[in-house]
Amino acid sequence: MTTLEAVCSKVLERITPGEEERERVLSLAQDIMGRLRALLAEEGVWGEVRLEGSLAKDTWLSGEADVDIFVRFKPDVPRRFLRTRFLELAREATEGLKQVERFAEHPYLECYADGIRVNIVPCYAVRPGEWLSATDRTPYHTEYVKSRLDERLKGEVRLLKKFMKGIGTYGAELRVGGFSGYLCEVLAIHYGGFVEVLRAASRWRRGIVLDPAGHYAGQEREATELFRHHLIVIDPVDPGRNAAASVSLEKMALFVLAAREFLRAPSETFFFPEEPGPTSQEKLRAGIRSRGTSILAIHVRFSDMVPDILWGQLWRTTRALSNMLKNEGFRVLRATAWSDEISNCVLMFELETAHLPPVEKHVGPPVWLEEHVERFLRKNAGKPDLVCGPFIEGDRLYVLKRRRWADAAELLRERLKNGGEDAGVARLLAKHIAEGFTLLLDEEVVRLSEGLKGFEEFLADFLLGRPRWLARRS
């Protein structure tokens, strides 16, 4: 047995659920589904209660079971019923469990029982292509996958999912921007196995089109024009949908790199990355001091935002503030965001320096371009920010001007004091920023780890800046 085969075999043994675990999870699912059916019958409303997701397809991972229960309603059932009475029935069917109302295209209920997450989701029983909501495809996804998986392929899917989780590319939610469970299943089916997916992915290029069901056979250019995405995987049950639409370019590239690295040097670390040990605050401060860069963090408290909306606001705001800093002459080396998804979020920027010289040099036109020279002279004549010039170097005009902002922290404080919408801060987040925010610089950032659970690990990973599975080259 090769090292590659040995690693895959050992991992598969660890992640495949045993009989006792299967019985426990399926018993929970059947119990809730039975209660739902009884409640719908009492209500006099037809609804097909179905088990969906990885549990229905038998591609779930040991210790990571999610129970996805879908209820398919006839198309004439109003959405108002799904938003109101259905949720009440779902709550009644899961009485005694911890319950959280979530919202995708329409509300659904998330519950927890002995560490197992249970999602109860409404959808419509419609024919393919006649979708009334995004969740209407799910039963067709389940049937497609089940019809193509044998016992070997189920294991291959498990390996791919665990690999994706280990390297940080699993999850279609906005926080991750990665590969959904269904996409992992489609890829394993399309290529025929876990290692085959990695070998193919190691050769992927931006703009690749995969069409497992052959919807666009001979017309791949049409798919490229339709979806305009860096990774296009045509949904086998819906030719109008890119099943990889959630995958960011960064996570696609990360998967390609990890695939190459694993094939080069197979290791269980890709599936089970080493957990970072406890990091002292002094060690974090020393790490920041030794970098020679500037780290700025904006801590904001929020309320009443579901995760996908929150992360959409965070990523949009991070991009906008990065561009604002760049436009004022600061070199942004990295920018990212963190949140506990409950009430705290942090926007983080690493700058080459947070303090620029008060004066900067502006380049003008060559003296031969008379109209441009005249415009440059008029623009700079008598301006209060003019320090020196215009003067000539070579054949060009130059001036020295005083910067509007030489301190990045002062710039951010000023632009954010009223919420920052004029600086590009996303609207919902701007409301909370206007209520108050904390700006921290360099070693001050470490203070956030005292009260924000999970931030210390995030900061340690940010300072490391390298995936834990990526081996150092000797």
The predicted structure's pLDDT at residue 366? 94
Q: Are the C-beta atoms of 28 and 113 separated by less than 8 Å?
A: yes
Share of the chain above pLDDT 90, in %: 79
Any bridge partners for residue 393, and if so which?
Answer: 396
Report whether pLDDT(188) > 70.
yes
Closest CA to 190 of 166, 158, 224, 214: 214
Written out in words, the top-level CATH class of the domain with range 17-135 is alpha beta
- Cβ within 8 Å of residue 199, ≥6 positions away: 191, 259, 263
- How buried is residue 431: exposed, middle or buried, by Cβ count under 10 Å (0-12/13-18/19+)? middle
Handedness of CA 260, 265, 271, 272 (dihedral sign): negative
Looking from the CA of 199 toward its CB, the CA atoms found within 13 Å total: 8
pTM of the model: 0.90
SS3 152: helix
- The CA-atom distances, in angstroms, between 474 and each of 390, 471 are 53, 9
189 pLDDT more than 60: yes
Question: What is the CATH number that goes with domain 281-355+406-464?
Answer: 3.30.70.590
Helix, strand, coil percentages (3-state) for the chain, rounded to 5, are 45, 20, 30
What pLDDT digit, counting tens, does each position of 32-41 carry? Answer: 999 999 999 9
CA 139, 142, 148, 154: dihedral to nearest 10 degrees? -170
Please, are residues 203 and 259 in contact by the beta-carbon 8 Å criterion?
no
Task: Dump pLDDT digits (tens) for 134-178.
Answer: 899 999 999 999 999 999 999 999 999 999 999 999 999 999 999
Which among 366, 171, 140, 156 has a CA at the least distance from the CA of 238?
Answer: 140
pLDDT in tens, 154-165: 999 999 999 999
Tokens representing 2 are 């090769």
> How far apart, in Å, are the Cα atoms of 459 and each of 79, 346, 353, 424, 454?
43, 11, 19, 25, 9
Name the pLDDT band for 218 (thresholds 50, 70, 90).
confident
Comparison of pLDDT for 202 and 471, the residue scoring more: 202
Q: Report the mean per-residue pLDDT for the chain.
A: 92
Q: What phi, psi does 275 have (nearest 5°)?
A: -75, 135
Record: fold of 359-402: Alpha-Beta Plaits (3.30.70)
Q: Report, as an integer, the average pLDDT of 216-242.
A: 93
Chain centre to alpha carbon of residue 470: 20
Residue ranges of the chain that CATH labels 3.30.460.10: 17-135
Q: What pLDDT, on a 0 to 100 scale, did the predictor assign at position 66?
A: 93
Residue 474 has pLDDT above 60, yes or no: no
Residues 396-449 pLDDT 10s: 999 999 999 999 999 999 999 989 898 999 999 999 999 999 999 999 999 998
151-270 architecture in CATH? Orthogonal Bundle (1.10)
**What b/e readout covers 309-347, taking b as 16+ CB neighbours within 10 angstroms?**
ebbbbbbebbebbbebbeeeebebeebbbbbeeeebbbb
Domain with CATH 3.30.70.590 in the chain: 281-355+406-464
The conformational region for residue 416 under phi > 0 = left, psi -120 to 50 = alpha, else beta, is alpha
Residue type, position 192, single letter? G
Single out the residue of 52, 45, 48, 47 nearest to residue 29, CA to CA: 52
Q: Which pLDDT does position 134 carry in this prediction?
A: 87
Distance of CA 466 to the CA centre of its chain: 18
pLDDT digits (tens, 9 = 90+) for 238-275: 999 999 999 999 999 999 999 999 999 999 999 998 87
- pLDDT number for residue 306: 83
CA distance 159 to 271: 8
pLDDT tens digits for range 55-113 = 999 999 999 999 999 999 999 999 889 888 998 999 999 998 887 777 666 688 889 98
How far is residue 406 from each of residues 27, 181, 362, 402, 426, measured CA to CA in Å? 63, 47, 15, 9, 25
C-alpha span between 367 and 379 (Å, rounded): 15
Structure tokens at 62: 């040991």
Is the dihedral angle over the CA atoms 355, 357, 358, 364 positive or is it negative?
Answer: negative
